[in-house]
Each structure stands twice: as C-alpha cells, then as structure tokens.
Structure 1
C-alpha cells in the first residue's frame, strides 16, 4: 500500500458520512483478517484464516446467523467492520421472539481511527438486528471502548455488556407518574453485571495464629482460608458452615460474625466481579486441631503460623485480606477491601 492510500479516508456517502454497507459472503476473508490483526491477541495463521473465512462466508448469507456491516477502505481493504452472531434464547416479554445477538467483533484499521467509523458500523448492525426482531444484545469490550457502547444503550462491565432494544413498532416502555421509565424486572436483570459470592472463615489457634490450607490446584494462591462459593439458594453463613465441614471435618456453631467484605473487579479471565464475606471461625483448641481432616482433592496441608510468617508465603492481596481479618477481630470493626485480584 502506498503512502497516499495509508492516509486516505473511506469514501463518504452523499451526506458526507462514511459509506456503511451490509457485508456479504465475499467479505468474509477481509472481516477475518481484521479480526486477526486488530482484535485477537495473537494473529491467526494462514490456515486458521482460511478456516475462519470458510466458516463465516455461508453464515453471512440471508439464511445464515451472521450479520455484518463494513466501511470500505482503499486497495480492497476494510476501514472498519462490525460482526454480530444471532442465536436463540428462551423468550421473555423483553425478547418475545427469543432472539439474541452477540457483537462478536468491532475493528477499525489504525489509519481510520477517531473518525466515528466504529460507531457507524455498530449502529448499522444494531439497527439491522433490531429490524429482525433481535432484542437482546451482548458484547465484550475493552475499558477504553466501553463509553461508546454505553452511549449506544449497553450497560454492565466491559467484560460483559448487555442491552435490550425493541424495534420502533414495539410498544414503548411504560412510564411512572414521576416520568421515569419503568423496566420489567426480567429486562432489568439482563442489564446487571454478573457476580459471584464467596465465603471465608478466619480461624486461629488459641495463640491467635491464623490457619492456612495449602491448595492442590491453585499455584498462584497456594494458601487458602477455609471457604468457597455459595451453592444455589444457600445463605453465606450456611455456606461457611458447609465449607468448614467439607474442608476440615469440623463443625462451627456461630453465631455469625462478619470480619471483612472483599470485592474483586472483573478481569480478562474472570468476566464477573466477586464478593467475599470473611466470617470469624473462632479459635481452635488443641483437640479440635488434632481432629482436622483435609479434603485431599482440595488441600494437602494445614498450618497455623504468625502473620509475619504468612506474609512470606502469600501473594500480597491474599496477605492483605488475612491481615484485615485479623485486625477486624482485634478491634471489632469490620474491614472493607475493593482491590482483590487486581495485582
């Protein structure tokens, strides 16, 4: 490509805006090359490009499940593209046809960025899908691009953004007497970011040395407090009692005493936030310690060590949580942490 082509813009339409067109099967290879070059962390090999192009081409036909809009660039290249994949879901009042779409990729060639091309192709894609009675939309994006999608109606964290959108022919949402728009609960639920709740038990011996269980499956977090995720329908304290019995063979009586609340934001490999509730599991007597029986599929060793000793064995965020629980027991003031898993 020569230097003039590198800096030239995509051809505008009669209104002076970039000319956006619906993609066809003939655009499959160009879209896959945009995905390889500007979306994936590792570019595809030629063999994978051929495989992806062969897969996408028939799906871009009217009978297929893919819809895409593009802006043509110079030299038969694309300046920008947006691809959505339609899939069925169980119907609900917010999506009566039972159709959803995932915005699979949005890409803009570096020479054509900051010109509104991404907004143009995404808007065209959403309009097309809405006209086909798709009303539930999802996408994954970067924190930098999230503001664009919020302007288009999406909500949630960049790891999973959602939107329900009806066609113009659909009845408008009802308004409350205050003038605000009422949203059905099932529709509102689709816009909420996903999260998972965990419980932990801060347990010590009678010398105030915290208990740690060595994991057999998590080398990056080798030492754990007793704990785990809530089962469906389970309360946090019931989960703590169950986890203690499963992981150590011991029963705790309570009453529940919350020491810390720990929040973890979404990450690339964990597209949901986490809430950890750290309860006081009490001080174990020598007899109780002798009766600890570990679950071999989870832990292979139990230790009671001082905080200074634990600091040498734990990642910084793990130790910060442990120290906060110890301080909360000492002072009677519950701790709050909101940077779990960010380091």
Structure 2
C-alpha cells in the first residue's frame, strides 16, 4: 500500500521540482532551464500556505516520499479550495481546483499519482467542495476520468504574462 501524507513547508522545494517536471512534460510549455522567478515565488507561497493550521488550509497538498532517497518526493497532488457565493448546485459555495499532479519519472506507473489524487479528493469531499476542476494533460486524462472527472462547461479565460 502506498503511504501518502500531507505536505509540510519543508516539502516546498520538492513540490516546485515536481511542478517543473510537470511543465517540462507538457507540450508547448516554455520552461527556462535553471531557477527562475516563478520557482522562487512558488516555493515561498507553498511554504506560507502549508504552514497554516490544518483547519485554515486552502492549498491542500499530498505527497509520497521517495523510498530510496530521503528528503525527496516521488509524487504529489496539490490543489486549492476557494469560497465563492453559494448557488443551487453548490449550497456551501466551495470549489476545489487541482493544478499540480506529478510523479518523478523514476517512480511512474506505481499508483503514486492516483494515491495522492485520491487523498486530495477525500480532503475536498470532507470540506464539501461542490465542484472540483482541473486541466488534464493527455497522459493524465484516463486517471482523472477513473476518479469521476468529466467535461464541464467551457470557460473563457484571460491570461497575461508579466
């Protein structure tokens, strides 16, 4: 059985490393070699968000430790919990968003991403998140569908690069 645990602030550098691996695997995603501003900012935010008391946590993160390399992560699943105005289909107004599921290449196909994602879904369910969204890569789509994800309305988005 895979041992999944909640991430702690000290995991921030490894969560950023895995996030970078995720971007490297996504077609069309420009990743600069070496440390960049986004990585330092991501690490700072993770350290801050993971340091809050569990009842106030808004960036749930679950990890599997690398069994061969202490201090290194094999996989992760990170999300956010957002409070919006309640609606008929979501009376508590809570929405989850999953944005960082990655497994180190040395540990793929062992169920680690599934275990982390299931822990994240349980966390959202315990807080009554009425909807959970994610953007799936082609490599992750089968996993997410097996966990109950499906198409939802197409949203418009605006993106700026600063």
- TM-score, normalised to structure 1, is 0.40
Runs (5+) with no aligned partner, structure 2: none
Q: Distance in 2 between matches of 1:88 and 1:70?
A: 24
Specify the alignment match of 2:143 in structure 1: 148
Matched, 1:46 2:41: no
Per the TM alignment, residue 110 of structure 1 is displaced from its structure 2 partner at its CA by: 0.4
Q: Which has the higher helix share?
A: 2
Q: Deviation at 1:151?
A: 1.0
* CA drift at 1:148: 1.1
Q: Offset of 1:43 from its aligned partner?
A: 4.7
Higher CA-based Rg: 1
Contact 1:36 1:44 in 2 (8 A): no
Partners of 1:149 and 1:122 in 2: how far apart?
9
Q: Is the 8 A contact 2:61 2:79 kept in 1?
A: yes
What is the 5 A alignment of 1:128-277?
A: 128-156=123-151, 191=152, 193-194=153-154
Structure (1/2) with the larger strand percentage: 1
Deviation at 1:45, TM superposition (A): 4.1
Shift of 1:58: 1.4
Aligned equivalents of 1:122 and 1:31: distance in 2? 14
Q: Secondary structure at the match of 2:139?
A: coil
- Asked if residue 78 in structure 1 is aligned to residue 73 in structure 2, the reply is yes
Query: Is the 1:108–1:117 contact (alpha carbons within 8 Å) kept by the matching residues of 2?
Result: yes
Mind listing any 5+ residue stretches in structure 1 that lack a counterpart? 1-16, 157-190, 197-268, 271-343
Q: Name the residue aligned to 1:92.
A: 87
**Cα RMSD for the two superposed structures:** 2.2
Aligned 1:27-66 pairs, distance under 5 A = 27-40=11-24, 41=29, 42-43=31-32, 45-48=34-37, 49-60=39-50, 61=52, 62=54, 63-66=56-59
Corresponding residue number in structure 2 for 1:209: none
The offset of 1:195, in angstroms, is 7.6
Deviation at 1:44, TM superposition (A): 6.5
Q: Provide the C-alpha distance between the structure 1 equivalents of 2:45 and 2:99, rounded to a whole number of angstroms.
A: 14
CA distance in 2 between counterparts of 1:128 and 1:68 reads 9
The whole-number CA distance in structure 1 between the counterparts of 2:112 and 2:94 is 27
Question: How many matched pairs?
Answer: 147
Task: Give me the whole-angstrom Cα distance separating, in 2, the residues matched to 1:94 and 1:119.
Answer: 27
